[in-house]
């Protein structure tokens, strides 16, 4: 057998698998975007102002927090004006909360799951993709508010993609894991509002990390929301570099959690249709 024949057989054996995998990945990516568009359409359906509400609602929320915490409770942002300080925290939190809201995504889409087969992680991931719109709007608002308060963009913003990548992988991992667990343990869905509130208050969203008691300082290191919120403020408002070592550690942990969540889902996905 010639070398050319061996090479040809090798290509025929390996090549189609690679092409099929790429085609499947592209198909699933398109399906994820399609579900995300449908979710956005459903969210703003029959709304004359459409995405305008996606801008106004968080702004009103931030203003309420700013008045209550800075004027009534005398909370400050340290060296950062409190308004952009809160905006940065709320932008991070709203995206992470979108992942928490995917806990019932399999249950809500049960009719789709029973009609056609596709990778089940597409459903919770589509919610995370849809939330990217609000995240983008929030980041633009953050830059605008910071500029208004006399904080121009700095070169440290080039580190923002790394900061956001930590947020993205953790949110995607939590979305998939919660959606999978909730199918079999429905109590998770009822507990999520309380869990969400606890996580929100336990993270330095409305208050600086410096106000956390010394015996609880470790929470600012292990809590990914806290890490991302503080890093976002550092690069966008303070003009300083974030803790790259901590970000890389969390990126690795978040990626491992995401991969583990996907493998766990795929190991029991045959049971999901029967349960939902």
pLDDT in tens, 12-53: 344 445 676 777 778 888 888 888 888 777 766 655 555 566
Q: Please tell me the distance from the alpha carbon of residue 248 to that of residue 6, in angstroms, as a whole number.
A: 43
18 is a domain residue: no
Q: Please tell me the distance from the alpha carbon of residue 133 to that of residue 55, in angstroms, as a whole number.
A: 10
Give 100's pLDDT tier (boundaries 50, 70, 90): very high
The residue with greater pLDDT, 67 or 135, is: 135
169 is a domain residue: yes
- In angstroms, the first-to-last Cα distance of the chain is 55
pLDDT score, position 165 = 97
Q: Which of 38-52, 88-102, 206-220, 231-245 has the lowest mean pLDDT?
A: 38-52
Mean per-residue pLDDT for 174-202? 93
* Radius of gyration of the chain measured on its C-alpha atoms: 22
Q: Is residue 166 within 8 Å of 227, Cβ to Cβ? A: yes
Sign of CA dihedral 193, 198, 201, 205: negative
pLDDT score, position 87 = 92
Question: What residue numbers bound the domain in which 188 lies?
Answer: 48-275
6 is a domain residue: no
69 is a domain residue: yes
25 is a domain residue: no
pLDDT score, position 273 = 80
Share of the chain above pLDDT 70, in %: 88
Looking at the structure of the chain, the number of domains it has is: 1
pLDDT score, position 259 = 96
35 is a domain residue: no
Q: Please tell me the distance from the alpha carbon of residue 208 to that of residue 87, in angstroms, as a whole number.
A: 13
Give 114's pLDDT tier (boundaries 50, 70, 90): confident
Q: Please tell me the distance from the alpha carbon of residue 267 to that of residue 149, in angstroms, as a whole number.
A: 51
Query: What are phi and psi for residue 79, nearest 5 degrees?
Result: -85, 0
42 is a domain residue: no
Q: Which of 123, 209, 222, 218 is nearest to 170 (CA)?
A: 222
3 is a domain residue: no
């Amino acid at each position: 057998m010639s070398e050319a024949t061996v090479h040809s057989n090798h290509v025929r054996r390996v090549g189609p698998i690679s092409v099929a995998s790429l085609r499947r990945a592209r198909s699933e990516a398109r399906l994820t975007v399609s579900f995300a568009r449908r979710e956005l359409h459903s969210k703003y359906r029959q709304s004359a102002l459409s995405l305008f509400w996606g801008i106004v609602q968080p702004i009103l929320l931030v203003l309420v927090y700013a008045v209550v915490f800075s004027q009534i409770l005398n909370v400050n942002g340290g060296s950062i004006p409190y308004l952009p300080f809160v905006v940065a925290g709320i932008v991070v939190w709203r995206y992470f909360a979108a992942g928490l809201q995917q806990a019932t995504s399999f249950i809500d889409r049960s009719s789709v799951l029973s009609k056609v087969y596709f990778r089940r992680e597409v459903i919770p991931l589509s919610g995370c993709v849809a939330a990217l719109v609000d995240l983008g709007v929030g980041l633009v608002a953050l830059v605008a508010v910071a500029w208004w308060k006399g904080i121009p963009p700095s070169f440290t913003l080039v580190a923002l993609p790394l900061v956001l990548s930590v947020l993205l992988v953790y949110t995607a991992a939590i979305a998939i894991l919660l959606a999978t667990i909730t199918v079999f343990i429905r109590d998770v869905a009822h507990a999520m509002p309380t869990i969400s509130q606890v996580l929100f208050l336990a993270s330095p969203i409305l208050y600086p990390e410096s106000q956390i008691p010394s015996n609880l300082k470790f929470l600012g290191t292990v809590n990914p929301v806290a890490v991302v919120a503080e890093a976002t403020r550092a690069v966008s408002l303070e003009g300083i570099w974030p803790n790259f070592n901590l970000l890389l550690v969390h990126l690795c942990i978040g990626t491992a959690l995401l991969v583990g969540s996907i493998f766990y889902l795929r190991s029991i996905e045959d049971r999901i249709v029967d349960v939902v």
